[in-house]
Each structure stands twice: as C-alpha cells, then as structure tokens.
Chains A and B, each alone.
Chain A
C-alpha cells in the first residue's frame, strides 16, 4: 500500500510493543506531604511570575503563575495543598530554574472551573481566550502556546487543521492510548478548533503502525469535515513541516515562516484532547499521560499523572528498574533530553520517560566524516548536514546560515544514520545558538546607534 509521506527520514526500531497495548493507569499519590514542583517556564516564550506565596493554600486547577506577555501560558497546580517555597530547582532539561513547590495534602480538592469564571457557555469567539487561560501549550514536547497558534495574522486563511497523531518517536505510545481510550474527546476538540476556522478541513494524521487507533478514530468520527488519514511509518513523520507536506503536499517556506503561511495549523493529540476538556468542562492543564518505558524499566506503563509530580514516583509506579539504566530520557529517543537526575518534576511537555540500558542507548566516540552522504539522503529538510557540521566546528557561522542551518529541525535523522557517529545535532544546536546570539547583539547595537543619533 502506498501511503503518503515525505522525502528523506529514517526508520529506527519502534520499541512501541512495550507500552502500546497498556491501558492508561492513573497515578495520584494520596499521601500528604508529597512535594510537587512547578517550573515557572514550561513553554516557549516569556516565563511566568508566581501568583502565590509561601504558605498559601492551593487547589487542583488553581492558577499559580501567569504573565501579561502574549507568547506565554499560565501554570496551574495539579494538587491541593500548601505552597512550601518558591526556589530554584532542577528541571527535566537539567537546568536550574525558579519553581513553585507545593506540599500536597493528598485530597485533590478542586478549584472552581474556568467556565464558572466565564459565567456562560463558551461561544466560538471565547475559545482562544479560554485556551489561553487554561494554559494549553503544544504537549508533544515543543510547548508552544496553543492560543498563539490559533491566532494567526488576519491575512492568513487557515485551510487545514491537522491533529498530529503520528507519534513517530520510537517507544512512546501515550497518544496512541489516548486515541484508543478517548477518541470522542479528540474529535470534539478538533471540532471546536474547526468552529474557530469554519473554512478549514480537519485531518487527524496517524502513522500506520497504530491500526487500533486508526480503526477506533474512524469508527467514532461522524463529522464529514474531519478526515482520519493514515500515513507511512517513518521518522520524523510527526515533525510539523513533514506532516504538512504529507497531508497537504505543501512546503512551509524557510524560517521564520510558520505553518499558517501555507494555511495550516498543527495540533498535538493531547493538546486537542485538552482543548475539548477546557471548552466543555473548564479544565486547565493539570495532568497528562506519559509513557514510562524503555528496556531498563521493570513494568513499562502509560501513566496519567498530575503535573509537578517527581519522575522518581513514575519509575517507582513501574516497579523500578530491572537492569541498570545508563540513560534516562525525557521524551523519545530521537529528540528527547537526557536527564541528569530523576528528582525532577513532570511538566506540560513531558510525553515520555525512557530508561535505556547500555544495550539500547547509543554512546559512541565520533570518528572522521567519510562524506558518505547518508545524512543528505535522510535529512527531511534536505539540508547538507555534514557541511553544516564542518562550518560550525570551524565557527564559520556565516556558512552555516547561508546553507540554511537555521532551518534544521534537530530531528536527529542524520546523526542516527552517521557511520562515523558524528555529534551532528549538537553542532546544529551550537550553530543556531551562535547565530541567534549574533543577531541579538546586532539588534542591540543597531538600537544603541539609533538612540545615539536621536
């Protein structure tokens, strides 16, 4: 069967068998005194400022941090209890950031819903505001605030709303389970977004290795404006630009262009589910489903957990490790972050906790580039990865930029295929950071000059 896809990409071993048939289990520690930690920045954009102080009592779904900035999203407590402190703590990324620490009372008492605040049944005109006030972000890992995505510039006509249910990262199956267990919420969530963009076609794009999810979604979908679209199993099928190419045949122009430039909005599965819950029940982002998996984990599971819970609790809920892990990754094995410690909190974008033994985690010394061209073959952006890598290592950021380095999506297909095990993604991250830094400096200098000339 010839399923739609994009050009390039790789097919890493899927490893989904560990969790794909495991129903979502709820994990809600009921002992009082358990600490829940909420970093003030769980999204792309401006960090939030705390709205609570030490000693305050909080409830589940109570807003504990927010900001005035547009590109940002408020943060809610996932438990009821008392604010213990606001202090720097380690996050999944390994950095130390300001966090609100809440001591749970184990009762999970709920705050009034967002709909009570609104006072009436939400109309399509209220949706975007409601989504902002519920703190919804892209829950696949990128954490881009959803209300920003749903507010494209006035001149952009949205023709497609695509639910990204590809879940192309190996091992993860939380989106798969969500589709099997609550298909209606996902479909209704998409319907609400289609109410905002009445001219758009809805698509739920699923990788073909999830037959049960595809069948369930097809069975439950009665809306002619929504199409369930299976596509070829290939990584990184769920990357925004690849998904748009597959579904619509269009190419998103080079950075800084956005999907809205080709009339597309792409939403994560869990995000779509969350939109439905927010609009119908006024539920803010207080919990999420996480695949806790990998060959080091005793009993891999899909867990529904309150945000802020410690990763250590998740691993304990899976009966710990059966063999020593060398790497624990937040997210999938292709783009996830290697964690320094398991004593960090789950945030909005944590889609998986993956513990790998030395057998499956790849830790190798790099050797000389052979110029074999495998990286060019697999790069889904059609860049020249080895050339960009050389440029960055020579600190020739001009060449890096001129050859489109800023368009790299860091999917890791090149590094996955590289016979010399070059640390390619690390190079691009460095290159992009250097270019951004240079741009910031240039902008600051220009501003200074303009002010001096006044």
Chain B
C-alpha cells in the first residue's frame, strides 16, 4: 500500500454544517421578502440591495487583502448576509452613496476592527443602520409606497393617528417601511425555514415577538397585530437578533436576551423618541450578551445544583 494516510485527532466524520452553508441558507431565507419589496416598493430597492452587498463584500476583501494581509474569507458569504440585512433595513429611496458608506462602516468598523467574523460585539448591519439614522435622519425616514410618500404605520401610531394600512396590506407588505421589513408573511416563512433547517432555534424569535407584541399592547401602544406586522420586528426577531456572534449561546441565555429585546422594543415604541425600537433594542441586548453568557453557563453534568453561580463568580 503506497497511500499516504492522514493522521489527525478524532472525530473523523463531520455533520453537514458549515459556515458557508449556514450563510447560504440565511440568504435563501431572506430572498423572497426582498423580491416582494422590489415588487411593492419599486426597482430602486434592487439598486440599494446590490449596492450594499457589493460594498460589504468589497470592503471585507480590501481589508483582509490589503490592510491586514490575512486570508480572504469573503467566500464564507457572511459579508453578503451583512449587506443584504443592511439593505433590508434602509428605505428604498436611500441615496446609493449613503448606503455604501453604511456598508463600509458595518464591515470595517463594526466587524473587522473587532477581529472579523465571530468577534464583533454588536450586529454590523444594525450598528451601521444606527449610525446612518443619526447621520442622515431625513433620508433614513422618508418612505414611499409605489411613488407616494407617506408615514409608516409605526410613525402614524407615534403621532397619535390611527393606523392607516389594512391588515392584509401589513401582512403582504404593501405599506411604507424599509426594503426588507414589510412583507410579513414571507419573513415569517423565511424564519420558519431557518428553524426547520436547524440554523436558528425558535427561542429568540418566538420569545422576542411575543414579548414585544404583548407588552406593546399592554403599554397601550397599539394592537398585537400592528405590533407584530409593522416595522422591523419580524426581520429583527428572525434574522438580526438571532445573529450567532451577538446572541447568547445557551438556551437559558437566549430566553433572557429575547425577553430583553422585546421589553426594550415595547418601551422605545411606546415612550421613546423614535417610532421604531427594534434596532436599538437588539443593539443594547447585543452588548449585554457576554454578561448573559457568563451567568447562564449550563450546569455541567454531575455538578452540584447550586454551584454554577459560584463557578462564575468564584474567580
């Protein structure tokens, strides 16, 4: 036998999971909602989506190749996901150059400055959106539906007006809002697909949406349906809050995190300065993740029941 044998540590077989495969599944789950919004909000959305993806991939490539001189990992598709998510969080009328600036900020400042994939402390797309909201407030809050500009349902609610969209329009996405956040039914289907494929667990989206909707209704902000189907709650709960890097790893931690997101969203929507609270809620909870992780470490099989707080706090 002339073969060269490979010697390595066990295990010698592997599941079908890979970083690239997971990112690809997320892109697949996001696509239908994007296509619908191009239909409702016009071709302009497509230009914003393309600009964001391209800018994200190129800035990651540039940073790794020219600045850090490390291995280029754009093939893992994570930059594409960031670009797609950022675009979905922008209004369709967004000037392209602003979208590009946001993308560069997301990849270079939020992701690469902290060490790249898996090391960032907040969600890059959301942090970029927050930066853009502060830098270009008008451009970020101008909404048009098929050429007619108007307030989003959440902004109308904030201003004390009745919700101006029918329930059906809310569900299919025929209303004002960001590119990817309007078509509720496809976002839910996309999220369900991710859960089905075992890419995300049901815990964060279900707990987040339930908390935000129920508390929003309790706080007297709006009806449960309006809370769920307007604004960025669905895309935030299924696609942003579930970002691996910036969410807790243990089941217990995920419940706490999702509840926190829901509580903050309801608080901001009801009493905050902005009509929408999803981005800021998730960003705030992102920062709390290391703490949540520390206090929700699972109990090791066979460890005494009371020991885990001591284990964490002991040193």
Chain A residues at the B interface, C-beta cutoff of 8 Å: 10, 12-13, 94, 170, 241, 245, 251-254, 257, 321, 324-329, 333-342, 354, 356, 360-364, 367-374, 376-377, 380-384, 386, 398, 402-404, 407, 410, 412, 415-421, 423, 425-426, 429
Contact = CB atoms under 8 A, between A and B. Distances in A.
B65 interface: no
A13 B314 contact: no
Contacts of A324: 3
A415 B6 CA distance: 18
Among B10, B14, B251, B299, max chain A CB count under 10 A is at B10
Contact of A429 (B9, B249, B251, B303): B9
Interface in B99-121: 116-119
Contact of B249 (A10, A376, A423): A376
B249 A386 contact: yes
B113 to A, nearest CB: 15
B272 interface: no
A363 B303 contact: no
Contacts of B244: 370-373
Given A252-B302, A253-B302, A372-B22, A328 B14 contact: no
A418 B17 contact: yes
Contacts of B301: 241, 245, 251-252, 380-382, 407
In the A-B complex, list the 7 residue pairs whose CB atoms are closest, starting with the nearest.
A373-B249, A412-B11, A362-B14, A426-B9, A372-B244, A419-B17, A382-B298
B13 A362 contact: yes
Contacts of B298: 376, 382-384
Given A170-B13, A339-B7, A362-B13, 19 more contacts: A241-B302, A321-B1, A326-B5, A329-B12, A334-B12, A335-B10, A368-B116, A371-B249, A376-B298, A382-B301, A383-B300, A384-B249, A384-B298, A386-B249, A398-B315, A402-B311, A412-B11, A423-B9, A426-B8
Nearest to A409: B301
A333 B248 CA distance: 31
B300 A94 contact: no
A386 B298 CA distance: 13
A310 to B, nearest CB: 13
B21 interface: yes
* Interface SS majority for chain B: loop
B10 A367 contact: no
A404 B307 CA distance: 12
A382 B299 contact: yes
A383 to B, nearest CB: 6
A326 B13 contact: no
B73 interface: yes
A340 B7 contact: yes
Interface string B225-249: 0000000000000000000110011
B15 interface: yes
A378 to B, nearest CB: 9
Among A368, A386, A398, A416, max chain B CB count under 10 A is at A368
Nearest to B304: A253
14 contacts: A254-B300, A321-B1, A327-B12, A338-B10, A363-B8, A368-B119, A373-B248, A381-B301, A382-B301, A384-B297, A407-B302, A416-B13, A419-B17, A421-B14
A367 B13 contact: no
A376 B10 CA distance: 18
A415 B11 contact: yes
A297 to B, nearest CB: 12
B306 interface: no
A13 B12 contact: no
A398 B314 CA distance: 12
